[in-house]
Amino acid sequence: MRPLTRRAFGRMATAALSVAQIPAALDIPADSFHLDIGVGTFSYHLLSLDDMIVELKANKIREIEMSRGEFMLMKPPTQEMVETARRKLDAAGIRCVSYYTATIKNQIDLDCALRNAKIFGASNVSGDATGPILHEIDRQFTQAGLTFGIHNHWFPQKFPYESTDDVLKALSTVSPTVGSTLDVGQMAACGHDPLDAIRRLQSRLKLVHLKDVQAVGAEHNVLFGTGIANIPGVIQELKRIHFAHLVAVEFEKDTNDNDDMREQLTYVRKLA
C-alpha cells in the first residue's frame, strides 16, 4: 500500500466533510432553501467607492465580491487603497466575501491576489489562470486556507475558459481548493446552457455571477428575464442543489443610472 501523503489526506478530508454535510442540506426542500444574494461591484464601476457603498446600503446588500477595476491586477492597487476600502466596507457593515482579480499571469500577480484577499477578509478569489501558475495558485491558496474560482468569459477573441468542458478540464488537474466562479450570462453568451453548467460544476462551485445577456456571441447585459440566460431556471437549479455560497448580481453597463440594479435585486429576491 502506498503511503498517504499530506495532500491526499487533505483531499480525503475535504470529500468526507462534504459528504457529511449533504444529508442535512437535502432535508430542506428547494422551495424552502434561500440563496445568499449579494452584488458583484463591477456593477457600480462608474460610481466612486463611497457612492457605491451608499447604493449597497440602500439596497440592503451585506455581502459582495469586490470586482471594481481599480482593484484588479491589470494595474495593481496599492496596499493602502485596499486597506482604505476595507475600512469603509467594515464601517458600512458590508463583507467582501470574494475578490475578483482578472487574470493571474505570474508569481507577482499571485502574491498581490493573496495580499489583497487577506486584507479584504475574502475567503475566495475569482479570476483565471492557465499553465503552471494555476497549479501554484492551487498550492499557495491551499496553504492560505482560501479558495480560487476559475471565471468563464466571453470575448470577441478566444478565451481559455468559455465552456463547462474548458473549466472541468482545468479542474481535473488541481485540488478542490480550485473550483468555478460560474458566470451564467457569459456562459450563455458563449452558446452554452447555464443550467447544464450548474449541474456539471456543482461540486466545485465557489461563486455564481448572476447576469442576463441579449444573445449568443455578445455580452450586452439585459434585465433579468429578458435575455437568453434563463435566470428563473438558474435560480431554481441553484436552490435545488442547495448552493450555499454567494450569488453575486451583476449588471454591466456604460451609464450611471442605478435604477436597473434596484430592479435586478428586486427581481432575484422574489425568486431566491
Please give the domain boundaries of the chain with CATH numbers for all domains: 33-271 (3.20.20.150)
Spatial separation of the C-alpha atoms in residues 134 and 257, rounded to whole Å: 38
Per-residue pLDDT tens digits for 11-61: 434 444 343 344 444 567 777 899 999 999 999 999 999 999 999 999 999
Q: What is the pTM of this model?
A: 0.88
Residue 132: count of CB within 10 angstroms of its CB: 9
Spatial separation of the C-alpha atoms in residues 227 and 223, rounded to whole Å: 7
Number of Cα atoms under 13 Å in the Cβ half of residue 104: 30
Pairing of strands 221-222, 212-213: antiparallel
CB 208, CB 238: distance < 8 Å? yes
Handedness of CA 139, 206, 249, 163 (dihedral sign): positive
Q: Is the model's pLDDT at 6 over the cut of 70?
A: no
What is the percent of the chain where pLDDT is above 70?
90
